[in-house]
Amino acid sequence: MSEEKRSISTSINKTKAELKAHPSTLQKTMSFDDAIKEALHSPATTTTSTPAQQVNKTYNSRLYWPDIINTPENKWTFSCVEIIDKLDKNEQRATEEKKNMEKCLIYFYTMKKKLNLFDHTYTAASILFYRFWYLYGLPASLINCIHVSQAILVTACKTMENNRPIDAYIKATCEYINQVIYGNRNAGNIDKLKWEVRDKLVNYEQRILTHFGFDINIENPKEIVEDIFSGFYRYNRDYDLPSDFKESLPKILVEVRSFIIQAVTQPVSLLCDGYSFLALAMLYCGIQYKKISNEDFKYPKDFFKERFPIRVTAEKFEAYFTDYRLLEQSFFDLKSNKGDKLQISKNDIESIIEESTDNEEPIGDPYSYDKIKSGEVQQDLLDHIEERVNEYINRITAGKKHSHSGDGVSSQNASTTTSPSRNQEPATKKMKI
């Protein structure tokens, strides 16, 4: 017998003798908690711990069974200087980078039209695109930039519950690549391109999710504006607004929606969170409305405080407007740029808002479930819901009759035109709050 085997045999015999002499030794040596810690490669408690330490030791489920995926806590907002500094220091390379970024943003807009996506899906894709660019930059070639953008678009569609079949993404993306990159000269190899685009989509979608650490929770300003001024709050919170302001607010909200869709093409989403983005839009549109339509216009007292979980001050948003203007000058020269209209001063903002200045009072979340779960529902809201439901029933019924009338219109087209999405409402409905 070798020396190593004799040593092992001696150790085993010694352990057996100790167990016979002290049967409780096993429990003291390896407790249940220590076994879990050993399995998790954590330092186990020693048998030399005092009785007091043994009594005070508690079971910590977060330590023993940690989350499979730990999502980071990131506000996704940065200073204007940090955003501009992400551009390449070489002027020629920076110009090429911005051209590729602009083509990607045009890709999002083209896909929105071709796939009939919601406006808030387009804004979500733009927000995710700028987050990816800020953290990881973009590939050097334009076609790889489009592949990344396609994966971002699919992620945004899933996040906004506005998904489409994979073949729809592939077909529309191939058409865009063939037009923008190949100048419609690659029609003969379109089938090969489709397989390449499909493979890239699967690969890049996995990379997008892992690069973001699965943190795709977006404060989408286009979605927030619809929630804050939805029918529920219009009839249960905003019914007591001044009559003249109730006439002005729908017109302002129409402009706010347009402002958000246009502003999201610049990296404003990296500058401020979703609620600040929406407040920025409402301040801008309020000031323009005051200059053009009604010089006496003003938001009611504490209008933002009662609806936004952030503090709206003239100093803070004067800085936002200044930074927004710098971003426009540093990135894209677009027709939608506001230019000198963004030269908004503190006095301009103070002329349309009247917010309480009690800095010690915390701003709570007005949309907390605990605050609204026991709220009163007014009869006006119930009547409004009944009216809308009857409208949808009539439209769907009319669509079905139209599809069976033998005029060649398919039931699929009829169901599309009667879809109760907020983007397909008649123009008169869009003018409502």
pLDDT digits (tens, 9 = 90+) for 110-150: 999 999 999 999 999 999 999 999 988 888 889 999 999 99
Q: What is the pLDDT of residues 186-206, one digit of tens each?
A: 666 777 788 888 888 888 888
What residue type is assigned to position 67 of the chain?
A: D
Looking at the structure, do residues 198 and 255 belong to the same domain, yes or no? no
Q: Which two tokens stand for residue 61?
A: 């489920």
Structure tokens, 323: 């930074």
404 exposure class (CB count in 10 Å sphere: 0-12, 13-18, 19+):
exposed
More confident residue, 46 or 74: 74
Do 85 and 204 lie in one domain? The reply is yes
Same-domain check for residues 180 and 86: yes
> Is residue 114 within 8 Å of residue 150, measured between CB atoms?
no
Number of domains in the chain: 4
Give the integer Cα–Cα distance in Å for 6 and 14: 12
How many Cβ atoms sit within 10 Å of the Cβ of residue 376? 6
Whether residue 204 sits in one domain with residue 102: yes
Q: 185 is in which domain, residue-wise? A: 80-211
400 and 306 in a common domain: no
Q: Which residue has the higher pLDDT, 45 or 399?
A: 399
Among 345, 369, 393, the domain-final residue is 369
Task: Please provide the DSSP assignment of 292-307 as one string.
Answer: HT-TT--PPTTTTTTT
Do 351 and 393 fall within a single domain? no
**Residue 347 counted as domain residue:** yes
Distances (CA, A) of 73 to 215, 216, 310, 368: 8, 11, 18, 20
List the structure tokens of 191.
Answer: 């089938």
Please give the Cα distance from 67 to 70 (Å, whole number).
6
Q: Tell me, what's the pLDDT at 11?
A: 58
With respect to residue 220, please indicate whether it lies within any of the assigned structural domains: no
Task: Kindly tell me if the per-residue pLDDT of 38 is higher than 60.
Answer: no
Closest CA to 212 of 87, 76, 68, 79: 76
Q: Six-digit token pair at 20?
A: 């016979």
SS3 assignment, position 370:
helix
Q: Are residues 62 and 168 in the same domain?
A: no
Pair 46, 148 in one domain: no
Question: 384 and 365, same structural domain?
Answer: no
To the nearest 10°, the Cα dihedral for 190, 191, 192, 195? Answer: 120
Residue 26, pLDDT > 80, answer no
264 and 179 both lie in a single domain: no
Q: Are 215 and 72 in contact (CB under 8 A)?
A: yes
